[in-house]
Structure 1
Amino acid sequence: MDDAYVEHERAAAWLRVLLDAQGRSVGTARAYAGRLSLYLSWAAAAGVEPSAPQADQLARFARWLERTPSRKHRPGRQRRRAADPKVVALGPARSAAMVEGILAAVVEFVRFGASRGWCEPAVAERLSFRTELAFAPRSWDRGERSERPVVERRVVRRRRVQTPPETLSAQQVGALVDACSNSRDRFVVEMLYATGLRVAEVCGLRLADLHLVPSAAHLGCRVEGAHLHVVRREDNDNGALAKSAWPRVVAVTKELVACHDAYRFERDGVPPAAESDYLLVNLWRAPVGRTLTVDAVERLFVRLSARTGFRARPHMLRHSFASEVAMATKDPALVKELLGHASVSSTDVYLHARWADMRAAVDGQARSSGQGR
């Protein structure tokens, strides 16, 4: 919406396609909406036609993103406050990864607009994150290769430095659990750390999704051992939507089962909560028995961060789980399946070396070299 709270029709049409036609999650659409809002505001101030930008105009927008910090800040979110006008910031206002993500959303919006006739297809065709040379098929009748004019797509990618994801140590996770004031909150922290589920996936779990028994054959499930099923549902009361459209099975540890049993004993003692089909519900605040929302879990971690004295967010536990599994197994395909990623390339970021591992490797090499002498 603009400053007068009038909906931007083209942006709204694109977001509806993301949700309804492409099956993107609500979280993805929310993130894209924020990125597109930045672009539309900048385009209006810069006099740029938002549906048909040129590559040099997107480059100007990228530089603006790097130099202009966000003015928004919400508790529990990683938002930058407006910089002090008297202080000159030496570093970029946004990381290269963030700038690249915003540009990717803008390019996708422009290409969607080209399919709707909002701009010439050639405008969208020239926007890309890599340079591509397009050649015509081989002319077999002449026995030689004919080339059509080379189409070079302008590159707007920013220099990006790959950094490991933010994780928490086992001691920090233990501190978070100790800082919880009830069994439900402890179970939420343990669940995120022990399964690597996304927050929306945890909030969308139904009681029937949990098979915390040695065998669930009597339920028609052939998976052995304690496990849970992650299922994408469009009708969740709290709007929690699993990102992947494909269901997956995640193994559950005995320790998590014990934590679950302690929570269920407390939960089922509250009549409105016992009647709910959802796993996580309100137990103390009205309306009691209502499904727990993603925002409620994020606010929980804000409180836990204040109690423990270090920054902790729900998604950091997912990164921690993935890093632990990746370092233990060295198997990206296994991490991919556990996390529900669409591509194995998404798990490469978790296969990073830690300082302790590098120190041990160097010390081991030095000892072996000394023994050889």
Structure 2
Amino acid sequence: MTADVRPVVPPETAPAGVPLSLLDLATVRGDQRIGEALGQSVELAQTAEAQGFTRVWYAEHHNMPGIASSATAVLLAHVAAHTERIRVGSGGVMLPNHSPLVVAEQFGTLAELHPGRVDLGLGRAPGTDQRTLQALRRSPEAADRFPQDVLELQGYLRGESRMPGIDAYPGRGTDVPLWILGSSAFGANLAAQLGLGYAFASHFAPQMLEHAARLYREHFTPTDALDAPHFIAAANVVVADTDEEAQRLWEATRRSRVRMFLGRGRHLTEDELDMLMDSPAGEQVLGMLRHTAVGTPDVVRAWLDDFAARVEADELIVTAAAVDHPARVRTLELLGEHVIRR
């Protein structure tokens, strides 16, 4: 499996790029302390801010030892307090896991503490496995109420509650921008119908990207919240000063991804991992990384320009996919220098 690298456009003819944002997976490496991993997320956010990224988002996951963003609103508060300008948000909060009122109170609090900097991306997936759903006390039909819950949440944040006699304090009147996140036609159609921004999880679910982007644009209904569609496409990036270093980092990323998904907590020898990499299950895991830009800054810039044009993205949100933290920081620095400030 190789990354979906497109022909390079010479830098002098490349079109101006779309805004670039960061999706930080708040990754915990091996036996790393979670506190250390969260400190690295703060450093990534500060680097992204210094390099001119538009926003940094974190996703809600549960019962995953390698991801530290389960308490998403708490992490956002910490990152926002250690940055100054960059927008911070959820990419996203899994709304069926919570009551709309509680989410409105949490993000209303964030908006009062950091005015004009908070985004609220919403998903309807569980963000975990079926057994963990029981621990979350999530009902089986919760996802079916997602559209109604989005409207209820929007009402609380606008100060136009749909529940008589109930308001969100804090939250009322903050009008935190809502985004629908998804990887299928459902999210695209819902975002278009409600006139909200839409972000597609193409960094791990590439199959329906172009179809969902087209549906969203064709059916978008302007509203007071958004008068024109705003589509964000996600991609993985591995950028280094040399192609040899980028390819080395990319191979380590591929092996780490297969180990995480197929190792099931076991210690795998390198030979065992090699076998998994070449197995049908391994190919399926690696297929999730289809939309990945790998190489030197000029190569990655050309890939991102082509990717954004192909799906008519208004913005790209990228994951710094390298396994080690210094390489992720360097990725953001190179993107800032060669893509954002071209």
TM-score interval for Structure 1 and Structure 2 normalised by the shorter chain: under 0.3
Compute the TM-score of the two structures, normalised by the length of structure 2.
Answer: 0.26
Bigger strand share: 2
Q: TM-score, normalised by structure 1?
A: 0.25
Higher RCO structure (Cα 8 Å, ≥6 apart)? 2
Highest Rg: 1 or 2? 1
